Amino acid sequence: MNEVWIALYIFMLSAFTGFEVISRVPVILHTPLMSGTNFIHGIVLVGSMIVMMSAQTPFEMVVGAFGVFLGALNVVGGFAVTDRMLEMFKGGKK
């Protein structure tokens, strides 16, 4: 039970820290920040695939597959948003 409280404490600290860091980013830096988070999400996706490969029970396989699905969805969505933002900076067609 003690491990659950420690994990919850770490989650709450990381959520608060992430919120504080992201809220202080200037508007001009959101596109590079999005590209950086896409990189991190790619690492999360690879990590979830490795964890899923080592799963031994059906429950672990389902949770791992769900993690891979959400990670892939996050990566694809992040790249789509980044591409859309970069389109705004391109000049008009002549």
Does 73 map to a domain?
yes
Does 20 map to a domain?
no
Quote the pLDDT of residue 93.
Answer: 66
Residue pair 33/78 in contact (Cβ under 8 Å)? The answer is no
Domain span at 39: 29-89
The pTM assigned to this predicted structure is: 0.58
Quote the pLDDT of residue 50.
Answer: 87
Q: What is the mean pLDDT of each run of 10 residues along the chain (94 residues)?
A: 84 88 75 72 84 87 88 84 78 66
Quote the pLDDT of residue 13.
Answer: 92
DSSP per residue over 47-70, as a string? HHHHHHHT--SHHHHHHHHHHHHH
Does 13 map to a domain?
no
Count of structural domains within the chain: 1
